[in-house]
C-alpha cells in the first residue's frame, strides 16, 4: 500500500491530467484550484488504480473521484460503468447532482446519472435503469433490492466507489457492501473515501483493494482551519435562551442546528419560528419529498435555519450554510466531524458552535482528542451584547436606506409634521425611530438575565462521567418502546445488522433509538419508540430487508419502558 500524507495543492486541474472538457467544466462551476484530496486522488484514479482516501468531510471528496472516473467513461455505452455507494439518500442525491454538473461538457453520446435510494418509487427507478445510465449512485439497501431482482446489470462496471464508508459501516451495511463488491466484475477499480479509519475499513481494504494508494489528508490542514470552532458551557435549561442569544449576535447567511432526536427538531424549529426566525425541521419522519423541499427552500433563501438530526443532514451541501450550531452535543465523537463539515465546505469559511452541559464535558474532551485540537471556549452573549448588535443592525439598515433610496418626499413630510406638531425636529425623529423599532426594541439589555456559563458539575455527575465511555451507549431510560413484528427472519438470510441498517437508512430513525431485536426463524421482533406516526408505520411496512418486505405489525401488549438498545445476543 502506498501512503500519501498530503496537504499540497496542484496549481490547476489541468496539471492533474484531466481532459480539457472537464477542466473547463469545473472552471465554469467556479473551482479555481484543486483541494488537497482532489490533488492527491485524481492522478491515481485516472490511472485506474485503487484508492483509499482519508479526509475530513467537506474537503471536496466527491470531485476527487467523480472527475477522474468521468474522464474514463464510454458515453456511447448505455450501461452502468461507475457505481457509487452512499449511506443516505440525501448524499446519493448530492453526489448524483455533482456528477451531472461536472459532466455538462461531455459530448459524443447521451450521458445519464441515476440516483437510487429508498423512499422513491421502484417503478421510477426501474424505468430509469432500463435506459442504461452510465453512473449509478445508490444507497445499499435499495441497490440490493434491484440486484436480487436482477434489475441492474453490473457486468460492464469499471469502478466502484464507497463514499463515507465509515458511516455506511456504522449504519449496519457491512454485509450489503461486501455483497456489492463481490458482485462487481473482476478487475474493477475500487475507491473508498472515509473521514475516519475504523478497523472494519482496514479489513475491507486488505480484502478487496488491489495495491491501493492510501491518501491521508492531515486533520490539521487548511480545510479544518477554515472552520472557526468554539463551545459554550451552560446548564441544560439555559440552552434555548443561549441559542436565541447566539442567533441574535452571530452574523450568518444560513445555519443548520443539530438536535439529538427527531422530536427535538420539530419542537426547536417551532420555538424558533415563534421567536421570529424562518426555521424548518429536517428529520426521518418527513417524506423524501418534504425533505428535498426543505433543502430547496434553504438554497433559495426562503428559510434561514434548518434544525436537523445527524442522519437527515448527512450529505447536505448548501453554500448558504456558514454556521453550524450543535444544540445537542453528538454522542458519537466521529459524528462531530460530519456535523461541522456541513459548513466550510471545499475551502469556504464557516463557524461551528457547540452547547455543552456539565454532564457532557467528557464528550467534549473525547471530541477534542478525536479532532486532535482543543475547541475554544467562549462566553455567552450578554444582554448588553444583544443590545449593541441590534443597534448596529438598525444603524446599518438606516445607512443602506439613506444611500439607496430617494428620500425627498419623506423629507418634505418630516418638515410638515414638525410644523404641525410643533416639536423640535430631534424629538420628532426620535419618535419615528421609536415607532420603527417597536417590534424589535433596541434597549433590551435589562431584559436578559445573566446566565452563568462556567458551571461546576455535581460530584455525582463527575463520578458518573468517569465511569462512562463516550460514544458507546446512549441513555434510553426515558424512552417508552413498543414491540413490532417483522416478517423477515433467519430463513430469509436476515441478520440483525440488516434490520438496523434498513430502519436507519429508509426511515431515518436514529440507531440509538432502536431497542431490542429478537431474530426468529421466519420473523423478527423489534422494539421501536412509542407513538410511531401512521405514515412512518406504512412506509416501514413496505421497506425490504434482504429482499423481504418487513410488513411491520404491532405486537399486542408489547410495551416496555427504559430498555437499553441491544443489537446482538451476548455470546456465552
Query: Which domain CATH number covers 94?
Result: 3.40.50.300
570 belongs to a structural domain: no
Is residue 60 within 8 A of residue 38, CB to CB? The reply is yes
456 belongs to a structural domain: no
Residues 411 and 270 in one domain: no
The number of folded domains in the chain is 4
119 belongs to a structural domain: yes
Smallest CA-to-CA distance from 172 within 525, 469, 511 is with 511
Stretch 74-98: mean pLDDT: 89
Residues 10 and 127 in one domain: yes
Cell output for 188: 474493477
Is residue 315 within 8 A of residue 86, CB to CB? The reply is yes
Residues 108 and 157 in one domain: yes
Long-range contacts of 516-522 (CB under 8 A, 24+ apart): 516/563, 516/565, 516/566, 517/566, 517/567, 519/489, 519/490, 519/494, 519/495, 520/489, 520/490, 521/489, 521/490, 521/491, 522/487, 522/489, 522/491, 522/492
Residue 180 has what pLDDT?
94
425 belongs to a structural domain: yes
3-state secondary structure 173-188: CHHHHHHHHHHCCCCC
Residue 218 has what pLDDT?
62
Give the confidence band of 476 by pLDDT, cuts at 50, 70, 90: low
Residue 461 has what pLDDT?
36
* Least confident among 116-125, 147-156, 435-444: 435-444
Is residue 244 within 8 A of residue 390, CB to CB? The reply is no
Residue 83, classified by CB atoms within 10 Å of its CB into exposed (0-12), middle (13-18) or buried (19+), is buried
Residues 369 and 416 in one domain: no
* Least confident among 147-151, 159-163, 566-570: 566-570
Single out the residue in 182, 198, 216 at which a domain terminates.
216
Residues 318 and 359 in one domain: yes
CA–CA separation, 76 vs 71, rounded Å?
13
Residues 193 and 155 in one domain: yes
Residues 372 and 406 in one domain: no
Q: Is the pLDDT of residue 484 over 70?
A: yes
Give the confidence band of 121 by pLDDT, cuts at 50, 70, 90: confident
Cell output for 49: 488504480
Residues 208 and 317 in one domain: no
Q: Is the pLDDT of residue 289 over 50?
A: yes
Single out the residue in 379, 411, 427 at which a domain terminates.
379
Give the confidence band of 572 by pLDDT, cuts at 50, 70, 90: very low
Stretch 201-230: mean pLDDT: 77
Please name every residue paired with 545 in a beta bridge, in sequence order, or none if there are none. Answer: 548
Cell output for 198: 475504523
Which CATH number does the domain housing residue 542 bear?
A: 3.30.70.330
> Could you report the per-residue pLDDT of 327-361, keeping only the tens digit for each?
998 866 667 877 887 786 555 678 999 999 887 78
Q: Which residue range forms the structural domain that includes residue 347?
A: 226-379
CA–CA separation, 513 vs 538, rounded Å?
19
568 belongs to a structural domain: no
Residues 232 and 373 in one domain: yes
Beta strands in 35-97 (DSSP E): 51-54, 82-85
Residues 52 and 85 in one domain: yes
Residues 144 and 110 in one domain: yes
Residue 451 has what pLDDT?
56
What angle do helix axes 174-183 and 199-208 make, rounded to 10 degrees? 10
463 belongs to a structural domain: no
Single out the residue in 328, 361, 379 at which a domain terminates.
379
User: Highest mean pLDDT range out of 238-242, 324-328, 372-376, 457-461?
Assistant: 324-328
39 belongs to a structural domain: yes
CA–CA separation, 452 vs 171, rounded Å?
38
466 belongs to a structural domain: no
Residues 107 and 69 in one domain: yes
Per DSSP, 382 falls in state: P
Amino acid at each position: 500500500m502506498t501512503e500519501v500524507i498530503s496537504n499540497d495543492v496542484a496549481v490547476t486541474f489541468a496539471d492533474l491530467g484531466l481532459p480539457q472538457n472537464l477542466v473547463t467544466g469545473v472552471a465554469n462551476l467556479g473551482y479555481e484550484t484543486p483541494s488537497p484530496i482532489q490533488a492527491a486522488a485524481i492522478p491515481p484514479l485516472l490511472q485506474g488504480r485503487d484508492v483509499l482516501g482519508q479526509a475530513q468531510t467537506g474537503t471536496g471528496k466527491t470531485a476527487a473521484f467523480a472527475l477522474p472516473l468521468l474522464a474514463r467513461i464510454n458515453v456511447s455505452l448505455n450501461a452502468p460503468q461507475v457505481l457509487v455507494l452512499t449511506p443516505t439518500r440525501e448524499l446519493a442525491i448530492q453526489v448524483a447532482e455533482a456528477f451531472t454538473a461536472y459532466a455538462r461538457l461531455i459530448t459524443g453520446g447521451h450521458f445519464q446519472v441515476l440516483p437510487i435510494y429508498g423512499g422513491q418509487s421502484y417503478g421510477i427507478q426501474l424505468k430509469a435503469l432500463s435506459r442504461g445510465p452510465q453512473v449509478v449512485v445508490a444507497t445499499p439497501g435499495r441497490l440490493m433490492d434491484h440486484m436480487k431482482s436482477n434489475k441492474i446489470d453490473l457486468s460492464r462496471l469499471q469502478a466502484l466507489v464507497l463514499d463515507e464508508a465509515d458511516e455506511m459501516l456504522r449504519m449496519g451495511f457491512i454485509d450489503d457492501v461486501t455483497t456489492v463488491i463481490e458482485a462487481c466484475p473482476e478487475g474493477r477499480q475500487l475507491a473508498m473515501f472515509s473521514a475516519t479509519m475504523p478497523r472494519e475499513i482496514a479489513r475491507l481494504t486488505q480484502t478487496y483493494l488491489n495495491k491501493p494508494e492510501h491518501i491521508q489528508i492531515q486533520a490539521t490542514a487548511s480545510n479544518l482551519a477554515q472552520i472557526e470552532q468554539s463551545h459554550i458551557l451552560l446548564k441544560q435549561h439555559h440552552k434555548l435562551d443561549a441559542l436565541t442569544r447566539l442567533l441574535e449576535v452571530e452574523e450568518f447567511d444560513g445555519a443548520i442546528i443539530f438536535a439529538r432526536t427527531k422530536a427535538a427538531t420539530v419542537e426547536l424549529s417551532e420555538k424558533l419560528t415563534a421567536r421570529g426566525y424562518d426555521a424548518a425541521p429536517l428529520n426521518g419522519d418527513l417524506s423524501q419529498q418534504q425533505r428535498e423541499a426543505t433543502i430547496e427552500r434553504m438554497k433559495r433563501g426562503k428559510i434561514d435555519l434548518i434544525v436537523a438530526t445527524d442522519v437527515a443532514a448527512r450529505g447536505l451541501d448548501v453554500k448558504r450554510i456558514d454556521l453550524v450550531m450543535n444544540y445537542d452535543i453528538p454522542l458519537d465523537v466521529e459524528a462531530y466531524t460530519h456535523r461541522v463539515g456541513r459548513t466550510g465546505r471545499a475551502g469556504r469559511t464557516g463557524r461551528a458552535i457547540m452547547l455543552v452541559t456539565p454532564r457532557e464535558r467528557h464528550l467534549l474532551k473525547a471530541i477534542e482528542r478525536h479532532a486532535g485540537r482543543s475547541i475554544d471556549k467562549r462566553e455567552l452573549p450578554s444582554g448588553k451584547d444583544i443590545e449593541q448588535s441590534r443597534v448596529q443592525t438598525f444603524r446599518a439598515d438606516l445607512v443602506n436606506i439613506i444611500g439607496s433610496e430617494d428620500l425627498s418626499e419623506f423629507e418634505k413630510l418630516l418638515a410638515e409634521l414638525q410644523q404641525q406638531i410643533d416639536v423640535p425636529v430631534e424629538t420628532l425623529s426620535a419618535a419615528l425611530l421609536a415607532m420603527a423599532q417597536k417590534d424589535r426594541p433596541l434597549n433590551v439589555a435589562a431584559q436578559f438575565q445573566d446566565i452563568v456559563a462556567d458551571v461546576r458539575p455535581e460530584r455525582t455527575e463527575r463520578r458518573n462521567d468517569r465511569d462512562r465511555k463516550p460514544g458507546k451507549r446512549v441513555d434510553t431510560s426515558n424512552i417508552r418502546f413498543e414491540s413490532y413484528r417483522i416478517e423477515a427472519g433467519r430463513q430469509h438470510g436476515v441478520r440483525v445488522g440488516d434490520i438496523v441498517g434498513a430502519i436507519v437508512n429508509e426511515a431515518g430513525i436514529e440507531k440509538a433509538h432502536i431497542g431490542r431485536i429478537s431474530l426468529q426463524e421466519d420473523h423478527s421482533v423489534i422494539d421501536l419508540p412509542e407513538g410511531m406516526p401512521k405514515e412512518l408505520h406504512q412506509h416501514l411496512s413496505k421497506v425490504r430487508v434482504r429482499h423481504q418486505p418487513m410488513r411491520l405489525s404491532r405486537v399486542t401488549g408489547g410495551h416496555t419502558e427504559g430498555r437499553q438498545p441491544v443489537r446482538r445476543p451476548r455470546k456465552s
